[in-house]
Amino acid sequence: MRIPSTQALRALDSFARHGSVWRAADELHLTRSAVSHQLRLLERDLGFDLLQRIGKGVALTPRGQRYAADVRKALTVLGDAGTQTNGAGVGGSFAISCPPGFASMFLCTHIGEFQQMYPDVALSVLTPRRL
């Protein structure tokens, strides 16, 4: 058995959480065909089916569900290891200056995610009339 790529594991994790290749692709900023390809490569590397066709859709097999749960735990451990160095996370302050439209259309949808990833960072968004 080959060791699966982290990109393939992230594709599986995203698919398992969202239940759709389309949503996984959107989250990972990939095309749907790229996510499908990663999932096929992962099945090849593992030597068993993770997905099954149901009508026009795709769902995880029972074995795929168990494997996806284990992958989620492993990715969480890796993510936590990346944000913790000797018990200390990333801290400080971060200021973003951008047009109001960008702040409302893009930043507002991602601020919560940023704060979850970096709870010790004070975030300021500045939207001056002229940059």
Quick: pLDDT tens for 3-33: 889 999 999 999 999 999 999 999 999 999 9
- Are 68 and 111 members of one domain? no
Is 131 inside any structural domain? no
Is 63 inside any structural domain? yes
Is 21 inside any structural domain? yes
- Are 15 and 75 members of one domain? yes
- Are 33 and 58 members of one domain? yes
Q: Which residues, at least 6 apart from 103, have a Cβ–Cβ distance to it below 8 Å? A: 96, 125, 127
CATH of the domain at 111: 3.40.190.10
Residue 87 has pLDDT above 60, yes or no: no
* The token pair that represents 110 in the structure block: 């991602």
- Are 54 and 99 members of one domain? no
- Please state whether beta strands 51-54 and 57-60 pair in parallel, antiparallel, or not at all (unpaired): antiparallel
What pLDDT shows up at residue 130? Answer: 63
CATH of the domain at 26: 1.10.10.10
What pLDDT shows up at residue 99? Answer: 86
Provide the number of structural domains found in the chain: 2
Q: For the ranges 3-12, 36-45, 64-73, 121-130, which has the lowest average pLDDT?
A: 121-130
Quick: pLDDT tens for 100-125: 888 888 888 888 888 888 888 888 88
- Are 48 and 99 members of one domain? no
- Are 67 and 109 members of one domain? no
- Which residue range(s) make up the domain with 99? 92-126
H/E element, 58:
strand 57-60
Is 111 inside any structural domain? yes
- Are 98 and 39 members of one domain? no
What pLDDT shows up at residue 45? Answer: 93
Helix, strand, coil % over all residues of the chain, rounded to 5 = 60, 15, 25
